[in-house]
Amino acid sequence: MAVLNKIRQRSLFLILIIALALFSFVLADLFRNSDALTSKSQNIVATINGKDITREDFLQKVEVAQRQAGPNATNTQVVNRIWDQEVRKAVMESQYEALGISIEKDKMRDLIKTALATNPEFLNEAGIFDENKLNEFIANLKEIAPQPGFFNGQPITYSDWTNYEQSLATNALQQNYYNLVKAGLTGTLAEGELDHNLEGHKVDIKYVQVPYTAIPDSTVAVSKSDISAYIKAHKKQYEVDESRDIRYVEFKEEATLEDEEAIKAELNMYLNGRLVDDTGRKDTIVAFSQVKNHAQYINTIAGSNEKYEERFVFKNSLPTPYADSIYNLNVGEVFGPYKHDGQFKLTKLIAEKNIPDSAKVRHILIPFLGAQSAAPDIIQTEAEAKATADSLLAILKKDRSKFPEFVEEFSSDQGSVQNEGRYDWHPYNTMVPEFNDFEFEGEVGDLGVVKTVFGFHIIEIEGQKDKKRAVNVGTISKKIEPSEATINKVFRDASKFEVEVDKKDFQEVATESKYTVRPINGIKVLDENITGIGSQRQIVRWAFEDESKVGDIKRFTISSGYAIVQLVAKHDKGLMAVEDASASVLPLIRKEKKAQIIKDRISATTLEDVAAAENTTVRTASAITMKTPTISGAGREPLVVGTAFGLDEGETSGLIEGEKGVYMIQVTKVTPAVALENYQAAANRVEQRKTGAVTTKVYNALKAAAVIEDNRAKTQVQ
| Helix or strand (DSSP H, E) at 493 | helix 484-501
Cα 129 to Cα 126: distance, rounded to the nearest angstrom? 9
Cβ count within 10 A of residue 629: 17
202-220+594-671 against 256-481: fold identical: yes
Contacts of 109 (CB under 8 A, 6+ apart): 131
Contact 254, 524 (CB under 8 A): no
Please state, in angstroms and rounded to a whole number, the distance separating the CA atoms of residues 629 and 637. Answer: 6
- Of 264, 639, 629, whose CA–CA distance to 476 is shortest? 264
User: Alpha-carbon distance 458 to 112, whole Å?
Assistant: 37
pLDDT at 7 over 50: no
Q: Which pLDDT band, with edges at 50, 70 and 90, does 291 fall under?
A: very high
- pLDDT at residue number 22: 46
Alpha-carbon 197 to chain mean position: 44
What is the DSSP track for 564-610? EEEEEEEE-SEEPPHHHHHHHHHHHHHHHHHHHHHHHH----SHHHH
Which residues on neighbouring strands pair with residue 277, listed in sequence order? 282
Exposure letters 288-306 (e unless 16+ CB within 10 A, then b): beebeebeebbeeebebeb
* pLDDT band at residue 32 under the 50/70/90 scheme: very low
The C-alpha atoms of residue 238 and residue 233 are separated, in whole angstroms, by 10
- Ranges assigned E (strand) in 241-333: 243-252, 274-278, 281-285
User: Which stretch of 50-54, 193-197, 282-286, 563-567 has the lowest confidence by average pLDDT?
Assistant: 282-286
How big is the chain by its Cα radius of gyration, in Å? 38
Q: What is the pLDDT of residue 597?
A: 96
Bridge partners of 149, per DSSP, are: 156
- C-alpha to C-alpha distance for 192 and 590, rounded to whole angstroms: 41
CB 702 within 8 A of CB 48: no
Pairwise pLDDT comparison (29 vs 574), residue with the higher score: 574
Question: Is the pLDDT at 141 greater than 90, yes or no?
Answer: no
pLDDT at 463: 94
pLDDT tens digit sequence for 295-313: 999 999 999 999 998 889 8
pLDDT at 659: 95
Cβ burial of 366 (10 Å; 0-12, 13-18, 19+) is buried
Query: In 10 A of CB 265, how many CB atoms?
Result: 10
Q: How far apart are CA 232 and CA 217, in angstroms?
A: 23
116 Rama class: left (phi>0) / alpha (psi -120 to 50) / beta? alpha
Pairing of strands 630-631, 635-636: antiparallel
CB 454, CB 365: distance < 8 Å: yes
Quick one: DSSP state of residue 402? Answer: G
Q: Please tell me the least confidently modeled range out of 47-56, 152-161, 546-555.
A: 152-161
Predicted pLDDT of residue 270: 93
More confident residue, 25 or 712: 712
Q: How far apart are CA 469 and CA 494, in angstroms?
A: 53
Is the pTM value of this prediction over 0.75? Answer: no
Q: Is cis: bond before 146, omega within 30 of 0?
A: yes
Quickly state the pLDDT bin for 21 (edges 50, 70, 90): very low
pLDDT of residue 133: 86
**What is the Cβ-side half-sphere exposure of residue 423, based on CA atoms within 13 angstroms?**
22
pLDDT at 228: 93
pLDDT at 29: 47
Res 2: pLDDT: 43
Please give the Cα distance from 191 to 679 (Å, whole number): 9
* The amino acid at 262: A
Q: Look at residue 541 in the predicted model and tell me its pLDDT.
A: 92
pLDDT reported for residue 40:
54
| Separation between Cα atoms, residue 702 and residue 708, nearest integer Å | 11
Question: CA 246 to CA 716: how far, in whole Å?
Answer: 21
Count other C-beta atoms under 10 Å from residue 362's C-beta: 22
> What amino acid occupies position 668?
T
Output the pLDDT for position 367. 93
Q: Which residues contact 147 (CB under 8 A, 6 or more apart)?
A: 157
355: left (phi over 0), alpha (psi -120 to 50) or beta: beta
Q: Spell out the domain ranges in the chain.
A: 2-37, 105-183, 202-220+594-671, 242-254+483-572, 256-481
Considering the four listed CATH numbers 3.40.50.720, 1.20.1260.10, 3.30.70.3150, 3.10.50.40, the one that applies to the domain covering 256-481 is 3.10.50.40
* Fold topology of 202-220+594-671: Chitinase A; domain 3 (3.10.50)
Average pLDDT score, the chain: 88
DSSP code, position 627: S
CA distance 512 to 486: 21
What is the edge-to-edge ordering of all strands in the sheet holding 661-671? 619-624, 202-211, 661-671, 656-657
The per-residue pLDDT for 662 is: 97
**Maximum mean pLDDT: which of 167-181, 224-238, 657-671:** 657-671
User: What is the rounded CA–CA span in Å between residue 301 and residue 376?
Assistant: 43
pLDDT tens, residue by residue, 682-713:
999 999 999 999 888 998 999 889 898 888 87
Check if the beta carbon of residue 431 is closer than 8 Å to that of residue 440. no
Burial 599-627 (b: 16+ CB within 10 A, else e): eeebeeeebeebbeebeeebbebeebbbe
Q: Angle, nearest 10°, between helix axes 158-183 and 131-144? A: 130
